[in-house]
Amino acid sequence: MSQGYSTFFKVDQSPEEVFAAINNVRGWWSEEIEGKTDELGVFKYHHQDIHRCTIEVTELVPDRKIVWHIADNYFNFVNNKSEWTGTDIVFEITEKDGNTEVRFTHVGLVPAYECFAVCTDSWGIYINGSLRDLITKGKGQPNQSEQIANKHGIQNS
């Protein structure tokens, strides 16, 4: 597997429930999403003027795998505004010993990136916290970008 940031967790819920939760992007990442997130095609994410991106859903294998391609990206807090452009986000769902494992990999999100610390911190919060809560408790905590930005001293321009 090529370089990137990866994390995983296990839950008692079925692969079907996990797949549905991941596709409910507004339920765990952000309510500031335009477009459909549960079918092949494009959706857009933005948080103030701090971060916006165009995401192409390139692969949807029911109850097994979801792949997003970052077609376009903008950050206001790094020199290279387009650091995520061309990277891929992969969700892999596997059944193991009566549990469901969710593996998240942001392929191409590498330590050389200026956004690496902020982005890996954010993904940790959204994947291991919010997405896991959406799957296990039925409710995630989307829209935490404000707190994350404040923690890292990122200003809205």
pTM, whole model, 2 decimals? 0.95
The answer to whether position 121 is within a domain reads yes
**2 assigned to some structural domain:** no
pLDDT score recorded for residue 64: 98
CB 151 within 8 A of CB 57: no
- Residue 63 sits in a domain whose CATH number is 3.30.530.20
* 3, part of any domain: no
Q: Residue 157 burial by CB count (10 A; 0-12/13-18/19+): exposed, middle or buried?
A: exposed
Domain contains 52: yes
Type and span of the H or E element at 105: strand 99-107
Indicate whether 131 belongs to any domain: yes
Contact 77, 92 (CB under 8 A): no
For the segment 41-71, what is each residue's pLDDT rounded down to a tens digit? 999 999 888 999 999 999 999 999 999 999 9
Residue 36 lies in a domain: yes
User: Domain for residue 72, yes or no?
Assistant: yes
pLDDT score of 65: 98
Q: Please report, in tens digits, the pLDDT of each residue of the chain (157 residues total).
A: 458 999 999 999 999 999 999 999 999 999 999 999 999 999 999 988 899 999 999 999 999 999 999 999 999 999 998 899 999 999 999 999 899 999 999 999 999 999 999 999 999 999 999 999 999 999 999 998 888 889 999 988 6
Q: What are phi and psi of 115, to 5 degrees?
A: -85, 0
Dihedral (Cα; 139, 42, 124, 146), 10-degree rounding:
-80
pLDDT score recorded for residue 156: 80
Query: Which residues span the domain enclosing 107?
Result: 8-151
H helices of the chain, where? 15-23, 25-28, 116-123, 132-137, 145-151
Total count of domains within the chain: 1
Tell me whether residue 41 is in a domain. yes
Distance of CA 9 to the CA centre of its chain: 14
Token pair recorded at residue 107: 């392929």
Tell me, what's the pLDDT at 119? 94
